[in-house]
Amino acid sequence: MQRVRVAIVGAGQGGSSIYNVLKKMDYVEIIGVADINPEAPGMLAARFDDTYTTTDYEVLVQKHTIDVVIETTGNLKVRERIHQITPIHTAVMDAQAADLMMLILKDKQALMDEKEELLEIKRLKGELDAVLASVQEAIEVADNHGVIKYVNPAFSRITGISEETRIGENIFNVSPDGALAECLRAKKSIVGYRTKVGGTNAEVISNSAPIFVDGQMEGAVVVFQHITDVMKIMEDLKKSTTIIENLYDRLGQITGSKYSFDSVVGNNEGLRQVIDLSKKAAQSNSTILLLGESGTGKEIFAHAIHQASPRREKPFIKVNCAAIPETLLESEFFGYEKGAFTGAVKSKLGKFELANGGTIFLDEIGDMNLYLQAKLLRVLQEMELEKIGGNYTVKVDVRVIAATNRDLKELIKKGEFREDLYYRLNVVELTLPPLRKRNDDLPFLINYLIVKFNRQLGKKVKGISKNAKNILTAYDWPGNIRELENVIERAMVTTDEDIISHKHLLHYIEQLSDQSQAQVSEIVPFDEMERVLLKKALDRYGYSVEAKKLAAEALNISLATLYNKLKRYNIS
């Protein structure tokens, strides 16, 4: 709406009052104020508001943008002059007429304000209706007398009662036992109230609360859900809780691979061949069977294969089949559902589920019972499993690496290992050489272990004496690398010197002496014994130049002497 443009002539007490009232009206624009006294109250107020002021009223009233000139001086000559010089479209009024105009404008302003307030209320009501219509819980409102004033669409969906049928009814008649009626009677909130909605078979869980306006109770509101919806939410919550618990279990059990092929120490030709084949096998998803005596490093190879595979970022799960009681193997492998047996207070993920997407290492596979072998065979064939107490299958994507120090073919003959499982596991077979066939790696392994235990034990051992090395070289090492590691560690724990000597290996010297005495069962000539020792040394170390150097060192003779003796005894 266009604003009324006003000029005020006379800024004394009356003009100042008119100015202060008009400037607050939204529909009035004050163009300027004129008075012969520049310090008049109205002039000061106008200048403070940055409104135009002048001491020459004629300049002001001749502006073509003015709709009304209010003359408050009371001077007839001034009023007549204003009538003479104002444009024809400009109205001129005295102070009394101005008071009347302000009353009219005030009423108009009040009407406009009331209209704006009604529009705002209407907007808020629309927003509230949209909110109440969108919620999934049923809502019902009644006044203090129980007359139902409002129900939302969810009320009709849950109860089957239409809005037209419900509104206007009395809650004490249609649902006297409900939470809303109880709230109106008790004048307090009702929480978790389970009942049926009056006139229906809908069983609901309700919360009801009084409605207070200016401290006075004006009615009550009830919010409720169908009992089946509540039960579904509780079931979903239980499922979510189970998932969270399983995730915590999984986080606590999942590990990554700790070793790579760089962790394998040695340059023995047989060992390098196994490493090369392992690296090739790592790039596939084929099942791998690691064979070898105890202590040869099968677990390190399993870690290294996983680390070199495309699954390196996924879990690596180790299961020692010999360490888990036979009665628990199935639950450890495949998991179980809550309540599957006494003590199963929650569901548990099995090792195969934990390893999903990654690698599972089945150590000592030869010790697994036949029943579990059958279940394992199904997992390998179908890549799916069933939990104990479960009635559904779980799909898994797992790469299997198995290891054993037992002769599986002999176990198959005895009926202790399934032949079909053996061929399923033995897609890629890797046989790790024992330490007695890797004597050329002994110096590397000894130095590696000395550095390792110096760091762990805070020692400063520099090496090992020649005699001590000969003792270690002559030993067969039935416990392989693990036994060598124990020997070096024990020697370093007990020594305060910087060189490990034969005296730190007395225990093993005694073992070697016992073995030597056991082998000598009859008296033989020295040259025959010498020939046997030469042949045994070459069988142990090999026939290359480097191997002969090690054999000569073990026999405590020079390489030239070794060659002379080989020639003498015609050993090629």
pLDDT of residue 121: 58
Taking the C-alpha atoms of residue 183 and residue 220, their distance in angstroms, rounded to an integer, is 7
Last residue of a domain, one of 433, 457, 486: 433
Query: What average pLDDT score do residues 46-50 get?
Result: 89
Please report, for the domain that includes residue 428, its CATH number: 3.40.50.300
394 and 299 within one domain: yes
pLDDT of residue 428: 93
Higher pLDDT, 247 or 235: 235
| pLDDT confidence tier of residue 401, bands split at 50, 70 and 90 | very high
Please tell me what DSSP assigns to residue 569: T
422 and 352 within one domain: yes
Decide if 506 is inside a domain. no
Structural domain boundaries enclosing 559: 526-568
273 and 183 within one domain: no
Q: Are 150 and 141 in contact (CB under 8 A)?
A: yes
Give the pLDDT confidence of 437-447 residue by residue, as tens digits. Answer: 888 888 889 99
Tokens of residue 131, six digits: 């909110």
351 and 269 within one domain: yes
Last residue of a domain, one of 433, 459, 485: 433
Tokens of residue 338, six digits: 């809550």
Decide if 65 is inside a domain. yes
Please tell me what DSSP assigns to residue 86: S
496 and 484 within one domain: yes
> What pTM was estimated for this model as a whole?
0.51
The single-letter code of the amino acid at 277 is L
3-state helix, strand and coil shares in percent for the chain, rounded to the nearest 5: 50, 20, 30
Q: Are 442 and 398 in contact (CB under 8 A)?
A: no
Higher pLDDT, 44 or 246: 44
Please give the torsion angle defined by the CA atoms of residues 81, 82, 87 and 90, in that order, rounded to the nearest 10 degrees: -150
| pLDDT confidence tier of residue 520, bands split at 50, 70 and 90 | very low
Query: What average pLDDT score do residues 379-383 get?
Result: 88
Helix axes of 466-474 and 506-519: crossing angle, nearest 10 degrees: 50
Decide if 67 is inside a domain. yes
Taking the C-alpha atoms of residue 99 and residue 104, their distance in angstroms, rounded to an integer, is 9
Decide if 441 is inside a domain. yes
203 and 350 within one domain: no
- In this predicted structure, the answer to whether residue 521 has a pLDDT above a threshold of 60 is no
Q: What does residue 522 show for φ and ψ, rounded to 5 degrees?
A: -150, 160
Last residue of a domain, one of 91, 107, 123: 107
| pLDDT confidence tier of residue 389, bands split at 50, 70 and 90 | confident
Query: What average pLDDT score do residues 338-356 get?
Result: 78
288 and 398 within one domain: yes
β-bridge mates for residue 93, sequence order: 70
Decide if 114 is inside a domain. no
Decide if 481 is inside a domain. yes
DSSP output for 312-352: TTS-EEEEETTTS-TTTHHHHHHEE-TTSSTT--S-EE-HH
Please report, for the domain that includes residue 159, its CATH number: 3.30.450.20
pLDDT of residue 313: 87
Please tell me what DSSP assigns to residue 147: B
Please report, for the domain that includes residue 476, its CATH number: 1.10.8.60
| pLDDT confidence tier of residue 283, bands split at 50, 70 and 90 | very high
SS3 551: helix
Query: What average pLDDT score do residues 165-192 get?
Result: 89
364 and 277 within one domain: yes
Decide if 518 is inside a domain. no
Higher pLDDT, 516 or 147: 147
418 and 291 within one domain: yes
Q: What does residue 244 show for φ and ψ, rounded to 5 degrees?
A: -65, -45
Q: How far is CA 281 from CA 1, 301, 307, 377, in A?
A: 86, 12, 12, 21
420 and 276 within one domain: yes
- What is the number of domains present in the chain? 5
166 and 90 within one domain: no
Give the pLDDT confidence of 200-236 residue by residue, as tens digits. Answer: 777 888 889 998 888 889 899 988 887 666 566 666 6
3-state secondary structure 240-273: HHHHHHHHHHHHHHCECCCCCHHHCCCCCHHHHH
Query: What average pLDDT score do residues 118-143 get?
Result: 71
Decide if 242 is inside a domain. no
444 and 387 within one domain: no
